[in-house]
Amino acid sequence: MSIHDIIEGKKQWRAHLARVKALPPDYRIVYKEMQKYLFKVGPVDLPDGPLLPGIVDFFEEGVAAGKGVVELIGTDVAAFCDGLIEGSPTYADLYQESLSEKPGTAER
């Protein structure tokens, strides 16, 4: 990764955080807790994939429709998160897979 990519990435990330900051408090609270959970679970495309910006898109629509965040996604936020990443491999999955590969067939 070049320096330029890193800076670009940061700029995009800052823009993303600015959108989060502009959400109403209830949405912001839920978003932040979700993000923490998602980073721990670690789906592979999380850092630069469409998932997190997509959540903000979805939340902004909810705000525009005059809904509270609980009305939009319910109280089981964990179930919502798991629904978002269902079928996406996590880093842990890939790691476990790499362990179960036969010696000699693994990458280097």
Taking the complex as a whole, the smallest distance from the CB of residue 2 to another protein amounts, in Å, to: 12
9 binds another protein (CB under 8 A): no
Structure tokens at 22: 């502009």
63 binds another protein (CB under 8 A): yes
Q: DSSP string covering 14-79, please?
A: HHHHHHHHTS-HHHHHHHHHHHHHHHHH-BTTTTTSSHHHHHHHHHHHHHHTT--HHHHH-S-HHH
> DSSP secondary-structure letter at 21?
H
> Which of 9, 16, 22, 95 is close enough to bind another protein by CB under 8 A?
95
Taking the complex as a whole, the smallest distance from the CB of residue 31 to another protein amounts, in Å, to: 10
Strand partners, 90: 43
Q: List contacts with another protein (CB under 8 A).
A: 25-26, 29-30, 32-37, 39-42, 44, 46-47, 51, 54, 57-58, 60-65, 67, 69-78, 80-84, 86-88, 90-96, 98-99, 106-108
